[in-house]
């Protein structure tokens, strides 16, 4: 009951290709890639916290204990 071997994964891949076809899989991969790219772009453009303000990233240069 361990992990699947390489042959198991190749057989699963072959069945998936036969069921869906290469064109549909290529389109699905492109859609997923586009979604990931848009998500990364949105994360980089501007982050908004839960109160609606912008999150400012910076470096702490002086720290004091109180």
Residue 45 pLDDT grade (very low, low, confident, very high; cuts 50, 70, 90): confident
Q: Where are the domains of the chain?
A: 22-46
- The answer to whether residues 47 and 55 touch, using CB atoms and an 8 Å cutoff, is yes
pLDDT at 56: 63
pLDDT at 60: 66
Measured CA to CA, the distance from residue 8 to residue 5 in angstroms comes to 5
pLDDT at 15: 92
- The residue that leads in pLDDT, 47 or 61, is 61
pLDDT in tens, 8-43: 989 999 999 899 898 888 898 899 999 999 988 888
The runs of H, that is alpha helices, within the chain are 6-20, 22-45
Contacts with 25 (C-beta within 8 Å, 6 or more apart), sequence order: 16, 17
pLDDT at 43: 82
Beta bridge partners of 54: 48
């Amino acid at each position: 009951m361990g992990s699947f071997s390489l042959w198991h994964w190749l057989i699963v891949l072959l069945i998936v290709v036969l069921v869906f076809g290469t064109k549909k899989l290529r389109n699905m991969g492109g859609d997923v890639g586009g979604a990931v790219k848009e998500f990364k772009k949105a994360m980089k453009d501007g982050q908004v916290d839960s109160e609606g303000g912008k999150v400012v990233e910076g470096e702490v240069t002086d720290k004091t204990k109180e």
